[in-house]
Structure 1
Amino acid sequence: MVERKKIELPADVKKVESVGEEAEFPFDISPMYEGERIRKNEMYVELGGTEQPGFELVLALPEEEVEDMKVTIVGPDLGEMEEGKAYPYAMIYYVAGSQVETDLEPVIERRNHDFQNYLEGYMHLNQRYDIWIRLGKGAIKKGLKSLVQIAKATMMLFKNELPFIEKIETLYITEATMVEKLLNEVAMPIYDERDARVEALHDEDVDEFYSCTLCQSFAPTNVCVVSPDRPSLCGAISWFDGRAAARVDPEGPNRAIPKGDLIDEIGGEYTGVDEFAKEESGGEYERIKLHSFFEYPHTSCGCFEVIGFYMPEVDGIGWVHRGYPEPAPNGLPFSTMAGQTGGGKQIIGFLGIGISYFRSKKFIQADGGWYR
């Protein structure tokens, strides 16, 4: 297992530190802001995204190593950033509590997307090493001056919504060299370790799958079903992560889905999944095949890491990663296809997936898998 420890900061590094709760915030905090979009002409700055590196990471540590409600900012803060520019961004959270364990790290990490979208004037998209943040000009005009305020509000939400987190500390970094170094040397090995853990387990080995409804604020009819052979579309939640989340918060976004009876072994269709899909989509969809590209495919939210697209000229399926800026072989860039694929829709010919699904033995097996 990759060792969990605090990031060692150079003695001469430029940093801002703040300890304790914030008395008040210059922005509203409410679920009503989920789904808020900040367009380019409305943004003050962009953090991470397509132009700069970025990542978010949660590390479970012993209680004595976490200084509760402390924030450290390394690199330029908001007041030192140039309007309209993009900057690197790392968000690292140290968490502790009697119930906090390593298995919960990715679950807590994924809720960062949820809670930060409660903040007025702050848009959080994607996950892991794909985070894309925009701060609106309106938030700056209302008095947002520092990332310390963002961190304090986020930590408050973590502790209020996930009471098993007894202590939390935050490190935000906007210095390019350090973000790149920590992404490659700390974050990526942990992400890879999480993904490798589930590869020995398969759909037929378990009685329950797990849901993830975090993206329903952006895609109301999305039905994300996480099985051993099919991770979440964002790539951040595996079957083990879903199980850990359901145990500590059974009414939260990750709930157990009884598989029910097997309908289609190759396509991956189960009565329990179909019943759940009908309920969670508001009746929009009644059937989902977990391992099918064309027939009753899994819905796609918008946080997917990769898009699959059908190419009728060769009767084949192509795949494009969200980080690829050029047009795919079908002439469309990722951004255009994302608009056609996402929104919680079941689109024949387009499919959003998490990267680790490529390693699954059941990867779109109903359509020939890699041979297609």
Structure 2
Amino acid sequence: EVERMYYEALRIYEARDAKARGLKDEDVDEFYGCTLCQSFAPTHVCVITPQRYSNCGAISWFDGRAASKVDPKGPIFRIPKGECLDMVRGEYSGVDKIVQEKSLGAIKRVHLYTAFGYPHTSCGCFEAIAFYIPEVDGFGVVHRDFKGTAVNGLKFSTMADTTGGGRQVDGFHGISIEYMRSPKFLVADGGWERVVWVPKAVYERVKDFVPEKVRDKVATDEDVKTIDELKEFLKAKGHPVVSRWKLVEAEVKPAEVKVEETAGVALPQQTQATVLEGVSISGVPITSGGFKITLKGARINIDKVIIRRSSSTS
């Protein structure tokens, strides 16, 4: 009986969500906000739009509108959109104003459609976390019910500690499952063309909303277990994110380092070249020991480096 009711509830929620998908953020003059989670995330303000559900997945734009009318002074309230400051990242003057007021000045700007810069704050009851994987320059998504270890070696609970609390944390972004079905899903970061790993249980629920060109190129927990396996999977499948690796490699050029002698102080004559991955530096004196520096995905521009020997004092 419980199982029957569970699937009946899913059917009802799906019908509700489908209705909400008919609206676009550009079609409305106001969004809605929720501060129900401020008891444990004091600076969190959830911004609910037609194309971005509440992080917990429980409140759609229509739900927010109804709740704000029932109790205009309650924890769910109107947010006039105001001027659109950044259409791609999703920044609105009205949202910034209300979020700053409701967070008591802790949060001043919000970008609704990105996990970087000024990302939407995360409470603690989010359904899933979109997390950045620097080794592949892509995103993974892990949901609350996933009991295993994500491809980055972390469990959901560990990442939740980093993500939650009402903070804006670059690369760790609390989201709802329904948001993954939205055309606005991380659109400023590349959307689904930047997503590389999702547990199969969730991927099957949202797969029909994934663009066809990447639908069979996103790895699941059944496909890969480690970052190295993920890299091989993405290359074999021809995932769009692989082209970003080649672009970054092409942009990393050798940097020239000039060493000048300070008047009256001679630098040691014995020097050796120090080679960094993708960057060659010569003429830097190494008098003892050694070191290794690895730069990955770096863009370096150096006009001049001056090395001076400081005088010793007794």
1:17-28 residue pairs with structure 2 within 5 A? none
Higher Cα Rg: structure 1 or 2?
2
Report the AA paired with residue 84 of structure 2: L
Cross-structure match for 1:283 = 105
Distance 1:236 1:356 in 2: 10
2: CA distance, partners of 1:179 / 1:284: 43
State how far apart, in whole Å, the 2-side matches of 1:362 and 1:295 are: 17
Residue of structure 2 equivalent to 1:179: 2
Q: Does residue 1:368 correspond to 2:178, yes or no?
A: no
Classify the secondary structure of the residue corresponding to 2:89: coil
The whole-number CA distance in structure 1 between the counterparts of 2:106 and 2:74 is: 22
Alignment-derived partner of residue 71 in structure 2: 249
1:1-372 pair list within 5 angstroms: 178-184=1-7, 186-372=8-194
CA distance in 1, matches of 2:86, 2:21: 22
Structure 1 residue ranges, 4+ long, deviating more than 6 angstroms after superposition: none
Letter in 2 for 1:180: E
Letter in 1 for 2:75: P
Distance, in Å, in 2 between the alignment partners of 1:254 and 1:285 is 18
Distance (Å, rounded) in 2 between the aligned partners of 1:365 and 1:257: 22
Q: Deviations over 1:56-78 (max 9, x none)?
A: xxxxxxxxxxxxxxxxxxxxxxx
Q: Report percent identity of matched pairs.
A: 61
The alignment's TM-score, normalised by the length of structure 1, stands at 0.52
The Cα of 1:283 is off from its aligned counterpart by 0.9
Higher relative contact order (CA 8 A, sep 6+): 1
Paired AA for residue 370 in structure 1:
W
Alpha-carbon distance in structure 1 between the residues aligned to 2:99 and 2:70: 23
Q: Give 1:191's aligned amino acid.
A: Y
Structure 2 distance, partners of 1:221, 1:190, is 32
Query: Matches of 1:252 and 1:216 in 2, distance apart?
Result: 13
Q: Offset of 1:210 from its aligned partner? A: 0.2
SS at the partner of 1:319? Answer: strand
CA offsets per residue over residues 332-370 of structure 1, 9 Å max, x none? 010111111011111011000010001111111111101
- The SS at the match of 1:255 is strand
Superposed CA deviations along residues 293-328 of structure 1, whole A, max 9, x for unmatched, are: 112000000110010111000000100011010010
Counterpart-to-counterpart distance in 1, 2:188 and 2:147: 30
CA distance in 2 between counterparts of 1:353 and 1:303 reads 9
- Aligned to 2:174, the other structure's residue is in SS state strand
1: CA distance, partners of 2:42 / 2:15: 31
User: How many residues of Structure 1 are paired with residues of Structure 2 in the alignment?
Assistant: 194
Aligned to 1:351, the other structure's residue is in SS state strand
